[in-house]
Amino acid sequence: MEVQAQAGSRVPGQPWGAHCRRVAALACELGRRLRLPPAELIALEEAALHHHAELSPAAGEAASPDLSPPARAILHGFRNPEEPVGGRAAAILRVAEAFAERVEFLPFQPAALEQIIDEMNWLAQKGLYDPVVTTHLTALVSIRLEDLLETVHRLPVFPAVALRALMIPPEEETSLEQMESLVSSDQVLAGAIVEAANSAFYNPCRRIATIAQALSYIGVEGARRVVLAQVFRPLFACRALGRLWRHAVETAVKAERLASLSRAVNGQEAFLAGLVHDVGRLALHRLGGVEGERYARLREKGADAVFVEMMLCGFDHGVASAEILRSWSFPAHMVEAVEHHHRPEASRSPMAALLHVAESWSEEAEEEDLPSPRRVQRALKQLGLTADSLKPGAEPEHWLLACLLEAA
Ligand SMILES: [Fe+2]
Ligand SMILES: [Fe+2]
Ligand SMILES: [Fe+2]
C-alpha cells in the first residue's frame, strides 16, 4: 500500500496543510448538500481546517486557542462520537476526514475508489458513520469519463503542424531548411520565431527581420519549442487558464532537462509530453452545469486537483489527458505516460516517472496533488537519477521558460 503523503503536510505561508484543506473542501460540499445553515457551514470549515492543529499541537502544529466556540464544539463531537455534541456537522467532518485519509492511502487499482465508498457505506450501516452523510458522499461521484469526452470534442484539434515540427530531425543538413519551410507556411508561427530570436535571451546586436536569420540564431531545437508552445497556446486562451499554461511550459522545460540527465526518455518527446500532460484539466475546466460548478467550488476551497477529481470522477486528470491525446493520435507510449503521471508506480513507463518528477518539481505542484517524497524518490530511481538532479544546473533554466512565454 502506497503512502501518498504525510497527512497534515504544511503549505508555506498557510497555517494548515493540504490534507486539512481537502477535508475542509469536502466537508463544506457535504454540508451544502445537507443544507446546513450558513453559520454552521462556516464553523464546519473552520473546524475541518484545524482538525489536526487542535489534535496534535506536539507535532509542530500550533494549538488553536482562537477557534470559535461552534467550531470547537464540532471538533469535540468529531473526536467523541459517543457524545451528542457538534450535531450533523461533526458527523460530516468524520466522513470527510475518513474519506480523505482513505484516498491518501489508495492502492492503485481501478476499483479502489468504489471499494472505499462501499466500505464507508457498510461502516455507516454498522453505526460508525452517519448513513445520510455517506449517501451524499456516494452521490458526489457523478462525473463520468464520457461527460468529459464530450468537452474534449469541443477542444481544438491537435494541430498537424506540431507533429510535423516534431518529425524534423535535429541535426541533419536539411533540418534548418525543413523548419524554415514549415514556419513559413504560417504567419503566426513565422512571427513567433522572429520575436523569439529578437527576445532578451538571444539579444541579437541587430534587429532580426527574416525567418532564415531567426532560425540561424535560435536553431532547430529552439524553433521546435517555439512552434510547439505557439500551437498549444490557444488551448489555454482564456485568462483563467493562464496559470495552467505557465505550468505546462514549466513542466515541459523541466521534463526535457530531466530527460537530458536521465537518457531514459527522448528529450523532444519529454518536452511535448510536459506541454500536454495536463490537457485533461482543460476538459474539467470546461465542464458546465452542476458538476462544473461543484468542481470549481471545491478547487476554490483549496482542495488540490487530483483529490477533487477522485472525489467527483473516481479518476484523476491524467486519465482525461490520455483520452484527449488518444483522440489526437499521439503515440501509445506517450498516452500511457501522461495517463499515469500522478501515479507512475502503476506503469512501467519511464516517461510517466519523468513527468511525475517534473510535475512535482514545478511551482504549481501543490495545486495538483499532495506532495509525496516517497513517490518522487521511486520515480527518480527508475530514471537512474537522485535528488541532486533537481538542483539548479550551471545554466539557469528559466531562460527558456521566459523565452517561450514571451514568444507565446
Ligand atoms: Fe486528518
Ligand atoms: Fe497533472
Ligand atoms: Fe501538471
Q: What residues contact 6, with CB distance under 8 A and at least 6 apart?
A: none
Q: Which domains does the chain have, with CATH numbers?
A: 18-140 (no CATH), 160-407 (1.10.3210.10)
Q: What's the CA-to-centroid distance between 97 and ligand 1, angstroms? A: 5
**341 pLDDT more than 90:** yes
Question: Do residues 66 and 112 make contact, with C-beta atoms less than 8 angstroms apart?
Answer: no
Q: What's the CA-to-centroid distance between 365 and ligand 3, angstroms? A: 7
Q: What residues contact 272, with CB distance under 8 A and at least 6 apart?
A: 162, 166, 228, 252, 334
Cell numbers found for residue 287: 465542464
Neighbours of ion ligand 2 (CB under 5 A): 278, 368
Q: What's the CA-to-centroid distance between 19 and ligand 3, angstroms? A: 19
Q: What's the CA-to-centroid distance between 8 and ligand 2, angstroms? A: 21
Instruction: Please name which ligand lies nearest the alpha carbon of 362.
Output: 3
Q: What's the CA-to-centroid distance between 362 and ligand 2, angstroms? A: 11
Instruction: Please name which ligand lies nearest the alpha carbon of 51.
Output: 1
Q: What's the CA-to-centroid distance between 50 and ligand 2, angstroms? A: 27
pLDDT of residue 158: 60
Neighbours of ion ligand 3 (CB under 5 A): 278, 359
Q: Tell me which of 366 and 13 has the higher pLDDT.
A: 366
Q: What's the CA-to-centroid distance between 182 and ligand 3, angstroms? A: 29
pLDDT of residue 123: 94
Residue pLDDT, tens place only, 104-131: 877 555 557 888 899 999 999 999 999 9
- Cα separation, 66 vs 128, in Å, equals 30
pLDDT of residue 366: 80
17 phi and psi angles, rounded to 5 deg: -95, 175
CB burial of 174-184 (b: ≥16 within 10 Å; e: otherwise) equals: ebbebbbebbe
Q: What's the CA-to-centroid distance between 73 and ligand 2, angstroms? A: 38
- Cα separation, 355 vs 332, in Å, equals 16
Q: Look over the chain and give the mean of its residue pLDDT values, rounded to a whole number.
A: 81
Strand partners, 10: 17
Long-range contacts made by residues 347-353, C-beta under 8 angstroms, separation at least 24?
350/262, 350/264, 350/265, 350/382, 350/383, 351/265, 351/269, 351/270, 351/273, 353/378, 353/379, 353/380, 353/382, 353/383
- Mean of pLDDT values over 258-271: 87
Give percent of the chain above pLDDT 70.
Answer: 83
**53 pLDDT more than 60:** yes
Q: How far is CA 246 from CA 277, 381, 398, in A?
A: 13, 28, 12
Instruction: Please name which ligand lies nearest the alpha carbon of 96.
Output: 1
Residue pLDDT, tens place only, 19-51: 899 999 999 999 999 999 999 999 999 999 988
Q: What's the CA-to-centroid distance between 356 and ligand 3, angstroms? A: 8
The pLDDT confidence band at residue 407, using thresholds 50, 70 and 90, is very low
**10 pLDDT more than 50:** no
Residue ranges in 277-407 assigned as alpha helix (H):
279-286, 289-300, 305-312, 317-327, 332-339, 350-361, 365-368, 373-382, 398-407
Which of 285-289, 336-340, 394-398 shows the highest mean pLDDT?
336-340
- What does pTM read for this prediction? 0.79
pLDDT of residue 64: 58
Instruction: Please name which ligand lies nearest the alpha carbon of 21.
Output: 1
Give percent of the chain above pLDDT 90.
Answer: 30
pLDDT of residue 288: 78
Length of the chain: 408
Q: Tell me which of 218 and 242 has the higher pLDDT.
A: 218
382 CB-side CA count, 13 A? 21
Q: What residues contact 62, with CB distance under 8 A and at least 6 apart?
A: 15, 53
Q: What's the CA-to-centroid distance between 210 and ligand 2, angstroms? A: 38
Q: What's the CA-to-centroid distance between 358 and ligand 2, angstroms? A: 10
Q: What's the CA-to-centroid distance between 56 and ligand 2, angstroms? A: 31
Instruction: Please name which ligand lies nearest the alpha carbon of 306.
Output: 2
Task: State the CB neighbour count (10 A cutoff) for residue 396.
Answer: 10
Instruction: Please name which ligand lies nearest the alpha carbon of 343.
Output: 2
- Cα separation, 293 vs 389, in Å, equals 40
Q: What's the CA-to-centroid distance between 310 and ligand 1, angstroms? A: 17
7 phi and psi angles, rounded to 5 deg: -60, 140
Instruction: Give, rounded to a whole angstrom, the gap between the first and last alpha carbons of the chain.
Output: 43
Among 48-62, 220-234, 347-361, the least confident range: 48-62
Instruction: Please name which ligand lies nearest the alpha carbon of 317.
Output: 2
Q: What's the CA-to-centroid distance between 338 and ligand 3, angstroms? A: 10
Instruction: Please name which ligand lies nearest the alpha carbon of 364.
Output: 3
The pLDDT confidence band at residue 275, using thresholds 50, 70 and 90, is confident
Its sign, for the CA torsion 262, 267, 269, 273, is positive
Listed residue (319, 320, 227) closest to 275, CA to CA: 227
Q: What's the CA-to-centroid distance between 181 and ligand 1, angstroms? A: 58
